Amino acid sequence: MQKNYFQKDMETMPIEEIKKIQNEKLVKQVKYVYDNVKYYRDLMDKKGVKPEDIQSTDDLYKLPFLKKDDLREAYPFGLLATDIKNCVRIQSTSGTTGKRVVAFYTQNDVDVWEECCARAIVAAGGTNGDVCQVAYGYGLFTGGSGLHGGSHKVGCLTLPMSSGNTDRQIQFMMDLNSTILCCTPSYAAYIGETLKEKGYKPEDNKLKAGIFGAEPWTEEMRRDIEKSLGIKAYDIYGLTEISGPGVAFECEEQNGMHINEDHFLVEVIDPDTGEVLPEGSKGELVFTSLDKEAFPLLRYRTRDICVLSREKCSCGRTFVKMTKPLGRSDDMMIIRGVNVFPSQIEAVLLNCGYAPNYQIIIDRVNNTDTFDINVEMSKEDFSDTPKVITNKEKQLQSAMKAMLGINPKIHLVSPKSITRSEGKAVRVIDNRKRLGITV
């Protein structure tokens, strides 16, 4: 079979040469950050590290980590490394109003990001003869614009559908002969189900591949989607802080995602001690950008738990492969593709006059996440008039929606009815675990 790559030289470069490029870029990027980002310079000074101490990737461990909290503290401009005039784009993490992280891009940053997405599309079999339906959300969320840009770079006919309006998605998919579908895996599954409900068989559509990511999904889900849409389903990984989707992408082997190592240096660390672990160990992924101009991050802790592998891949790519994220080392939940922290829910409860006695229950029914929050009423608040309770639930629901960007179902429950725990409170019951979904 003819192998296809978007940037063959880079994607199949012998690892020794990739390492050489990484060393050169790293030395430059560290100096650039030190000279231009006061926030990180202060961290380096505090640790007693100077740019000259970093001569190769072997010295990486000397640098301080960056965490999501640093990004919040430095919000909005504190980690910007260039004049705002040189920036052409801002994107932001999904739906986390209280804890928003914004990332800036120069034109070159956008180009690199889109090239990474183009690599993913080509690895999934995409060419300029394809019709690429982008059904990730457009807007601040990186999914839509990342794959949109990648699709342009490959030369596909791009259908910028954004997410939602499933009837229209299906109509365009059928009428315009879409061959590649890009969206979250749960939306892909939903489109598959809807097609079936409408009486279509998998062979009725022209789709051949799907590029699905931004949230955890299982091998079972992959098989279901492949069957219902009659396609091959490929995984794609990314995070806004490090540019968006396309940090890593799956090839025809469909067993792990190649990390675009010419742009992103990866380490795996012990989340408790911060110690760098040998390749093949399970730990937290840490990324260092190598050629970012606007928002370069050094040693950014993703909180995603993964394993890396350098086993030779039959696709010919030499970039290291990461497993699907196997869990997270913080309490972030991803519900319907949106990042949600229990602390945000607590903040809303306190604001609305409730004590933080609550329990979050998440499940996945018909491939869609369900999101329920049980909240205890205080004795004073307690009412046995259903109408009063329903009104209060509605008020709380809209306050939650404003904070989280998604709508939970609120259930006000009687005082002291949520079991008190003697140790760490069990705030989250994630029943998706029974489906093997780990985040």
Of residues 6 and 234, the one with the C-beta less far from ligand ADP: 234
Stretch that binds ligand ADP, among 63-71, 138-146, 353-361, 389-397 (CB under 6 A): 138-146
Least gap, CB of 183 to Zn ion (angstroms): 23
Q: Considering the rule CB under 6 A, would residue 145 count as an interface residue with ligand ADP?
A: no
Q: How far is CA 125 from CA 5, 16, 129, 132, 208, in A?
A: 9, 28, 11, 11, 8
Q: Enumerate the β-bridge partners of residue 88.
A: none
Interface with Zn ion (CB under 5 A), residue from 117, 315, 345, 348 = 315
* Residue 317 binding partner per list Zn ion, ligand ADP, none, with a CB distance cut-off of 5 to 8 Å that depends on partner kind: Zn ion
Q: Considering the rule CB under 5 A, would residue 333 count as an interface residue with Zn ion?
A: no
Of residues 143 and 210, the one with the C-beta less far from ligand ADP: 143
Interface with ligand ADP (CB under 6 A), residue from 304, 322, 336, 396 = 304
Interface with ligand ADP (CB under 6 A), residue from 70, 109, 130, 235 = 235
In the chain, what is the straight-line distance between the N-terminal and C-terminal CA atoms, in Å? Answer: 36
Q: Considering the rule CB under 6 A, would residue 99 count as an interface residue with ligand ADP?
A: no
Interface with ligand ADP (CB under 6 A), residue from 302, 318, 359, 367 = 302
Of residues 143 and 230, the one with the C-beta less far from ligand ADP: 143
Of residues 93 and 260, the one with the C-beta less far from ligand ADP: 93
Interface with ligand ADP (CB under 6 A), residue from 22, 23, 82, 93 = 93
Q: Rounded distance, CA 258 to CA 309, Å? A: 9
Q: Considering the rule CB under 6 A, would residue 94 count as an interface residue with ligand ADP?
A: yes
Query: Do residues 280 and 309 lie in contact, with contact meaning Cβ atoms separated by under 8 Å?
Result: yes
Interface with ligand ADP (CB under 6 A), residue from 150, 210, 213, 230 = 213
Residue 418 has, within 13 A of its CA and on its CB side, a CA count of 22
Q: How far is CA 18 from CA 265, 286, 328, in A?
A: 10, 18, 29
Stretch that binds ligand ADP, among 15-23, 194-202, 232-240, 276-284 (CB under 6 A): 232-240
Of residues 245 and 256, the one with the C-beta less far from ligand ADP: 245
Interface with ligand ADP (CB under 6 A), residue from 215, 226, 262, 376 = 215
Stretch that binds Zn ion, among 132-140, 313-321, 358-366, 408-416 (CB under 5 A): 313-321
Of residues 44 and 116, the one with the C-beta less far from ligand ADP: 116
Of residues 119 and 301, the one with the C-beta less far from Zn ion: 119
Q: Considering the rule CB under 6 A, would residue 237 count as an interface residue with ligand ADP?
A: yes
* Residue 251 binding partner per list Zn ion, ligand ADP, none, with a CB distance cut-off of 5 to 8 Å that depends on partner kind: Zn ion
Q: Considering the rule CB under 6 A, would residue 295 count as an interface residue with ligand ADP?
A: no
Interface with ligand ADP (CB under 6 A), residue from 246, 325, 405, 408 = 325
Q: Considering the rule CB under 5 A, would residue 317 count as an interface residue with Zn ion?
A: yes
The neighbour count for residue 277, using CB atoms within 10 Å, is 16
Rule CB under 6 A: which residues touch ligand ADP? 93-94, 141-143, 213-216, 235-240, 244-245, 302, 304, 324-325, 334, 339
Contact residues for Zn ion (CB under 5 A)? 251, 253, 313, 315, 317
